[in-house]
């Protein structure tokens, strides 16, 4: 059974060999930076070389979507439940996405739902208040309602109004 001393001896030997390997190659951080830069160049070149294919794919999708609009309209007009379910699911997905983006933006501005509103100063003593919003408003009587319009008396013997 290995003892604690042998474990400490083996672990210290492992650390010493790792330190010796790191000291043997002083250019290792430089090669790491060069490898990362080459990886970034490969990514950018892949995006640049793949952009014509991506643009073609987007144009093809737009054309296919445009060709499918009459069929979609016909399915909605005829009351196809599968199509209506797909449209309803899309509406829920879009609303949830908009809400999440809105909530994250409000949260990033300080977590206040009324981040765009101007905060009122703290209340002062009642004798020093000058804010017109805080002053009590007098109870003014309401003006009387205008009378309903009068109809001219009918001259016909019929109970139906004349057109």
Is 48 domain-assigned?
yes
Is 63 domain-assigned?
yes
Over residues 131-145, mean pLDDT: 68
Q: Rg of the chain's alpha carbons, rounded to an integer? A: 39
Is 84 domain-assigned?
yes
Is 68 domain-assigned?
yes
**Residue 25 confidence (pLDDT):** 76
**Residue 116 confidence (pLDDT):** 53
> What Å distances lie between residue 114 and 117, 118, 120, CA to CA?
5, 8, 12
**Residue 28 confidence (pLDDT):** 85
Indicate if the pLDDT at residue 138 is higher than 80: no
pTM: 0.37
Orientation angle between helical segments 28-78 and 81-108, nearest 10 degrees: 140
Task: Render pLDDT for 8-65 as a digit per residue (tens, 0 to 9).
Answer: 545 555 555 555 555 667 788 888 999 999 999 999 988 888 888 889 999 999 999 9
In the chain, the number of structural domains is 2
Indicate if the pLDDT at residue 147 is higher than 70: yes
């Amino acid at each position: 059974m290995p003892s604690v001393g042998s474990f400490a001896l083996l672990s210290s030997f492992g650390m010493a060999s790792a330190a010796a390997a790191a000291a043997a190659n002083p250019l290792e951080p430089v090669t790491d930076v060069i490898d990362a830069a080459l990886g970034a160049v490969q990514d950018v070149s892949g995006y640049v070389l793949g952009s014509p294919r991506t643009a073609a794919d987007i144009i093809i999708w737009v054309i296919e979507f445009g060709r499918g609009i009459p069929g979609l309209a016909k399915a909605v007009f005829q009351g196809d439940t599968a199509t209506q379910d797909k449209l309803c699911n899309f509406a829920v997905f879009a609303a949830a996405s908009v809400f999440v983006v809105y909530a994250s933006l409000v949260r990033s501005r300080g977590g206040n739902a009324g981040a765009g509103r101007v905060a009122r100063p703290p209340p002062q003593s009642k004798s020093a208040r000058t804010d017109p919003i805080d002053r009590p408003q007098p109870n003014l009587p309401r003006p009387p309602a205008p009378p309903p319009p009068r109809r001219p008396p009918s001259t016909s013997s019929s109970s139906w109004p004349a057109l």
